[in-house]
Amino acid sequence: MALERFFEPLSEVTGYTYDLEVLERGESAYQRYEVGVSPLFGRMFRLDGAAMTSEGDEFIYHENLVHVPALAHREPRVALVIGGGDGGSAEELLKHPSIVRVDLVELDGEVLALARRYFASIHRGSLEDLRVSVRVEDGLKFVGDRVARGERGIYDLILLDLTDPVGPAAQLYEEPFFRACAQLLNEEGLLSLHLGAPDHRPERVRALVARLRAVFRFVFPHFHYIPLYGAQWGMAAASNATNCSALTAEEIDARLAARGIGDLRYLDGTVYQARAVLPRYLRAVVG
């Protein structure tokens, strides 16, 4: 197959290009998709014209989305992943030996099917692990139903492993949904999500951080360059009792060692602690 060149916008006035040998393309009930092979990133997945994950650099996104909050929690046992149909977040969660259950709620069953077909190197069997309960459901409804039933404090971690805050995912980035998630978190629980590209959409990053701060006492924005996304990318961990920025490099390294997590390619104590220090212009963006 020949390489195709794709343009991906980062804002109304910026974007980047990459080449991809498309293996499969189609449209589910919710979104368009392409699976292909990139000369740089290996197998790669796109939804509605946006790169989602790749074999080559998925570790940057998934390690930071998962382990920044998970290492801040003293003993995470039960986690909820909204989205995350590629299985990468579940795979990282299972590295913590205390985890006994992961509820993975993915809106689009086709995403799960594509992950099982093409991305074993990302999910590494986590989608079939007995500790992972995979549900093809609307994450907004899943959370809302549990809050309506009066369930409280049932999760140690909630990870919003979503597409951008437009289209089907838009309501999952709004303050009412954050408040619903806060009710499902236990006392030390943490919420984790991605914020987008601060250099291209600073207003989006600023708004999301403000919404989180309206709900949570501690909000820890952290930023990482993700090659697949062509930009520096923001994430945040939020909690009403657990302050990620208070952890020292030594504490993080000690928790990694105690939990037997030795195969991370990005995070260690030094990197974790360094992410608490933002350059002045990013401090201005997050407020």
Question: Catalytic positions, please?
Answer: 161
Distance between CA atoms of 34 and 137, rounded to whole angstroms? 22
* Amino acid sitting at position 172: L
CA angle 6, 173, 46 (to 5 degrees): 20
- DSSP class of 157: E
Query: Is the separation of the CB atoms in 146 and 116 below 8 Å?
Result: no
CA–CA gap between residue 244 and residue 103 (Å, rounded): 23
Q: Name residue 236's beta-bridge partners.
A: 193, 221
Cα–Cα dist 184/192, whole Å:
14
**Distance in angstroms (rounded) separating the CA atoms of residues 5 and 28:** 23
